[in-house]
Amino acid sequence: MTRPALTHDVRIIDTTLRDGSHAMGHRFTEDQVRSTVRALDRAGVEWIEVSHGDGVGGSSFNYGFSGTDEMDLIAAAAEEAGRARIAVLLVPGIGTADDLRRAHAAGARMVRVATHCTEADISPQYFEVARELGMETCGFLMMAHRAEPKVLAEQARIMVDAGCQSVYVTDSAGALLMHEARERFEALVAEVGDQAWVGYHGHQNMSLGVANSVLGQQAGVRYFDGSLCALGAGSGNSPTEVLGAVFDRLGVRTGLDVASLLDAAEDVVRPYLPRWPKMDRNAIVQGWAGVYSSFLLHAERAAARYGVPAQDILRRCGELGYVGGQEDMIIDVAVQLAAEEEGTAPVDEREKEAVR
């Protein structure tokens, strides 16, 4: 598959209705999806990602049940979209090929296959299914701070050789400092940039998502993710409306109407926010310790249940090197920390099993 033609200097993909699902507790309503898609479409956004925060098939005990079936939300989004098209996320091991087929039937036309940054070899079968369906393909190398630039580029090569049309430096923890981000951008552009577009998905845990996006554009990155009002996991994503405004000031053509993006953020999304994405102590700890952004609400719930500070849970998760898909281990960490405070550690394995 060849990389798609770009109609502007860069392509901004909005993830409000997917990454934002984490911050919403996966409780998006059909009305919220419809109004958000209409507003993004008016602003000129080409691709809108819609699915459970952990991708298609993510509605579960481990990750959180969806308030509305995600296939209904995808169908509603596709129905409302005029110029825009609908994308979904798929995490191998959470979503299946059949989930992807159902998403396509509901109206999705792009899949973003997300793997840990060193596990790209589990993605090719999903790119093959996507090609059979005629879908556009992206690859997400999650927790990109955990792989050196050379290794990340080698993983990108696996995805591109499997038919991926764009491959992302995915800063799932919002941990990449500016020089670290640039090194990874340059490595991927050098390795696959003549065959596939390089993208960047940033989080604001260290307040660098937008700054790293500017560095990415200068390094040859052409796909950028954002969310209205920064709605996303952790302290949220690079705000779509800020990306639009910053690139406009830089003279970088996005095809987006900045005033309409601001209206969409302020008048459509802000009224339904359950909490304003912010760089508070817990979110900053995620970036500082390199912890997967979607762990935030799980850690806060475990903190309330077991009486230990959420920031301590998150720091321990960072020390243990947990990655996306290991949300169930947060309970283990909370139980262990509670036991340490009580002076009863180590916790008996049977006790840990009983609270799962």
User: Any idea which residues carry the catalytic annotation?
Assistant: 22
Known binding residues: 18-19, 172, 201, 203, 292
CA torsion through residues 150, 8, 206, 138, sign: negative
Nearest C-alpha neighbor of 20 from the set 43, 36, 31 = 36
- Angle ∠(111,96,61) on CA atoms, nearest 5: 110
Distance CA 295, CA 277 (A): 14
Distance CA 284, CA 288 (A): 6
Structure tokens belonging to residue 163: 């038919």
Nearest C-alpha neighbor of 39 from the set 189, 263, 242, 311 = 263
Residues in the chain: 356
Known binding residues for Mn(2+): 19, 201, 203
Distance, first Cα to last Cα, the chain: 44
What radius of gyration, in Å, describes the C-alpha atoms of the chain?
A: 19
